[in-house]
Amino acid sequence: MTPTRRRAALSAVVAALLALFAAACGSSDEEAATAAPESGQTSSKAEAAVATYRDYLEENADLLVVETKPFVAAVVAGNLAEAKSLYAPPRIPYERIEPVADTFGSLDPRIDARENDVAAGEFEGFHRIEKALWEEGTTQGMAPVAEQLQKDVEALAAKVKTVDPRAVDVANGAVALLGEVSASKITGEEERYSHIDLVDFEANVEGSEAAFEAVKPLLDETDPELSGEIEAHFKMVFAALEPYRRGNGFVSYTELTPADTRRLAQAIDTLAEELSQVPAAIAPAEES
């Protein structure tokens, strides 16, 4: 607590001093003239950052629709084993862009709610089918749920493509994706029947990295040191996941010991703490 309070107090002092300094010196036209072209450059960098991230959103929205189709087909056909094997692929693009999906009111709960997130009778989407496949061991009764899911992901994909964020929103999204990991993946609550939580974990981190990479050119300008630290910490998190990789997926969450989850959670917290400084750090580059 104390260092944080002190940091806040210090930065207030610095701000006050700067204001005093500016007031004492006045701002010469010369200074304003040299500042202007620079700000023009950064603004186009901000636009480029947003464009890069929008491409990523679009790509994953399309992938979500494409990967959901064979899964839905297997469920409708009543092919339990195939449905189980096709459950993870559509989860990946969804988890990569989750904070954006989250903003569309009722669509997100219809697609991704967990049983206890919603009122009884409103439980549908991926996790309703997940429960049927793994816990109930059947596809019975799931055909309409699967067909609705396909419609919902298509509606979501269309909406995702209309999103027009600012660069700071993209940076905030990178932090929010790691919040998703901390809140529900590392605890095994997200995929509580299939236990593929580490698949979601990696997808959240990939989405976070993509958002970070999009705004990185802005950060390289304002705080290259922070930028370097974050890149290193992303590598650290992916490296921490490696021991658990099996084939094109991961070990079941149930195989993780408290020491395993603790190591992963700490890696995420370290990265997220650094990442949370990005929005404020790039704001000057975006606004000017």
Among 79, 85, 148, 182, binds another protein (CB under 8 A): 182
By the rule CB under 8 A, 2 interacts with another protein: no
State whether residue 121 is helix, strand or coil.
coil
Q: How far is the CB of 261 from another protein (least distance, A)?
A: 5
214 in Cβ contact with 170 (< 8 Å): yes
Nearer to another protein, 161 or 262 (CB): 262
228 in Cβ contact with 63 (< 8 Å): no
Q: How far is the CB of 267 from another protein (least distance, A)?
A: 10
Nearer to another protein, 187 or 222 (CB): 187
Q: Which residues contact 221 (CB under 8 A, 6 or more apart)?
A: 42, 45, 285
By the rule CB under 8 A, 38 interacts with another protein: no
Stretch that binds another protein, among 10-18, 149-157, 178-186, 214-222 (CB under 8 A): 178-186
By the rule CB under 8 A, 265 interacts with another protein: yes
Number of residues that bind another protein (CB under 8 A): 25
Residue 175: CB atoms within 10 Å: 21
CA separation for the pair 80, 118 (Å, rounded): 26
By the rule CB under 8 A, 153 interacts with another protein: no
| 234-235-239 Cα angle (round to 5) | 120
CA separation for the pair 219, 286 (Å, rounded): 10
State whether residue 245 is helix, strand or coil.
strand
Nearer to another protein, 80 or 264 (CB): 264
Among 48, 76, 118, 155, binds another protein (CB under 8 A): 118
Q: What is the x/- site pattern for another protein, positions 189-218, by CB under 8 A?
A: x-----------------------------
Instruction: Identify the CA nearest to 125 among candidates 149, 101, 142, 105.
Output: 149
State whether residue 258 is helix, strand or coil.
helix
Query: What residues line the site for another protein (CB under 8 A)?
Result: 116-120, 172, 175, 179, 182-183, 186-187, 189, 258, 261-262, 265-266, 269, 272-273, 275-276, 279-280
